[in-house]
């Protein structure tokens, strides 16, 4: 019997510290008007200095496990998507595994920056379908506040901290589950969005650098195209999509993607206003927000998509 991977629980972790646009306008040459008009962002959450990426990941994972009605003993795969791991090694996923009390299976990180969760979900889906694992925690967790240049107004206003998680379970093929997934990368654009140092191999501490306007242009084109691919793979039309759950980089990118799909904006889950861009955490945070407030119901067709540094991009189409 072919298997399919079903999301059975979602969870979020957002640090309590809120930083508003006005707060940033007090220390940078920017304004609430500019940030809202160009990005749709009103505020972001920033973690206290002692908080680690694995702490946020564990909090989100525990909530997802509670929602799915499973315990640590039921998990045999942990995939953490992050560009801000606790340490160069070991993988943050192994820290998460230890803190959760999971004692079997595999645990590893995926580095695909803002596309990380879509990459992680796709990889976990493949491992579950292969039969080697049965129940995964797929987590996007980031502390982008630690890699921002707080003097650079072109990037400092855009990002926030947070984590989102799902429990992904292998089931004998039924209606629900992941229907199609596609991943892409084009490393020729690596220098448009990168961190100028940081890993152990360089011995330096890096900060995020981005040519925003060029990234924007590629994002709209790449996302529209990959969304078309997964719909075609699943034999569905844009009109079949109940919810677009996009990476939350910029409200204008979300609106442009929805327009290209001819999807009413009410069908787009938008959290960028209150979370800003949380990189790999943004898709699972948005998913959890819409599941928790009752918008996304079992049986709904959800289209998840993201694009980020690398460039990397991808989409996952699923029946929730």
Task: Name the residue nearer to ligand UT7 (CB basis): 75 or 143.
Answer: 143
CB of 249 to ligand UT7, least distance (A): 3
Is residue 247 part of the annotated active site? The answer reads yes
Site string for ligand UT7, 144-183 (x = CB under 6 A): ---------xx--xx-------------------------
Contact between 44 and ligand UT7 per CB under 6 A: no
Instruction: Report the distance separating Cα 143 and Cα 200, nearest Å.
Output: 18
Is residue 302 part of the annotated active site? The answer reads no
310 alpha carbon, distance to own chain's centre = 15
Instruction: Report the distance separating Cα 210 and Cα 228, nearest Å.
Output: 27
CB of 295 to ligand UT7, least distance (A): 23
Query: In the range 259-278, which residues lie near ligand UT7 by CB under 6 A?
Result: 277
Tell me which DSSP letter residue 33 carries. H
Show Cβ contacts of residue 158 under 8 Å, excluding neighbours closer than 6 positions. 39, 41, 212, 249, 250, 276, 277
Considering 21, 275, 277, 302, which one is annotated as catalytic? 277
CB of 14 to ligand UT7, least distance (A): 18
Query: In the range 67-106, which residues lie near ligand UT7 by CB under 6 A?
Result: none
Contact between 212 and ligand UT7 per CB under 6 A: yes
Contact between 308 and ligand UT7 per CB under 6 A: yes
Is residue 222 part of the annotated active site? The answer reads no
Is residue 196 within 8 Å of residue 206, measured between CB atoms? yes
Tokens of residue 82, six digits: 């992050």
Contact between 134 and ligand UT7 per CB under 6 A: no
CB of 192 to ligand UT7, least distance (A): 9
For ligand UT7, the binding residue among 16, 131, 201, 213 (CB under 6 A) is 213
Cis peptide before 311 (omega within 30 of 0): yes
Residue 62: φ, ψ to 5°:
-60, -40
Residue-wise DSSP of 202-216: TT----EEE-HHHHH
Considering 133, 247, 250, 275, which one is annotated as catalytic? 247
What distances in angstroms separate CA 148 from CA 26, 72, 100, 151, 313, one per listed residue?
A: 17, 34, 29, 9, 22
Closest by CA to 100, choosing from 127, 120, 80, is 80
State which residue has the least CB distance to ligand UT7. 212
Task: Name the residue nearer to ligand UT7 (CB basis): 290 or 307.
Answer: 307
Task: Name the residue nearer to ligand UT7 (CB basis): 123 or 281.
Answer: 281
Instruction: Report the distance separating Cα 65 and Cα 266, nearest Å.
Output: 29
Closest by CA to 5, choosing from 60, 67, 77, is 77
Contact between 215 and ligand UT7 per CB under 6 A: yes
Query: In the range 14-43, which residues lie near ligand UT7 by CB under 6 A?
Result: 30, 34-35, 38-39
Catalytic residues: 114, 247, 277
State the residues that interact with ligand UT7 by CB under 6 A: 30, 34-35, 38-39, 114, 153-154, 157-158, 212-213, 215-216, 219, 249-250, 253, 277, 307-308
């Amino acid at each position: 019997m072919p298997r399919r991977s079903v999301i059975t629980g979602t969870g979020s972790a957002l640090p309590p510290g809120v930083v508003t646009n006005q707060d940033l306008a007090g220390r940078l040459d920017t304004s609430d008007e500019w940030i809202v008009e160009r990005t749709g962002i009103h505020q972001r959450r920033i973690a206290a200095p002692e908080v680690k990426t694995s702490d946020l990941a564990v909090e989100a994972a525990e909530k997802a496990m509670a929602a799915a009605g499973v315990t640590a003993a039921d998990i045999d795969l942990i995939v953490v998507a992050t560009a801000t791991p606790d340490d160069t090694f070991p993988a943050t996923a192994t820290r998460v595994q230890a803190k959760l009390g999971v004692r079997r299976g595999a645990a590893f990180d995926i580095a695909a920056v803002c596309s990380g969760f879509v990459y992680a979900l796709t990889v976990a889906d493949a491992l579950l379908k292969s039969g080697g694992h049965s129940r995964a925690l797929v987590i996007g967790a980031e502390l982008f506040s630690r890699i921002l240049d707080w003097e650079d107004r072109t990037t400092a206003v855009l990002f926030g901290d947070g984590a989102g998680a799902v429990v992904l379970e292998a089931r004998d093929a039924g209606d629900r589950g992941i229907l199609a997934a596609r991943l892409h990368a084009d490393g020729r654009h690596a220098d448009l969005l990168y961190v100028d140092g940081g890993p152990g191999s360089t011995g330096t501490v890096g900060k995020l650098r981005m040519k925003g306007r060029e990234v924007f242009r590629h994002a709209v084109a790449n996302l529209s195209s990959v969304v078309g691919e997964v719909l075609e793979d699943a034999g569905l039309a844009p009109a079949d999509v109940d919810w677009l759950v996009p990476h939350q980089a910029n409200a204008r990118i979300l609106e442009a993607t929805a327009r290209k799909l001819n999807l009413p904006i009410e069908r787009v889950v938008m959290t960028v206003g209150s979370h800003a861009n949380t990189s790999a955490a943004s898709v699972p945070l948005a998913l959890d927000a819409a599941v928790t407030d009752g918008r996304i119901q079992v049986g709904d067709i959800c289209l998840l998509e993201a694009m980020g540094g690398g460039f990397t991009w991808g989409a996952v189409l699923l029946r929730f």
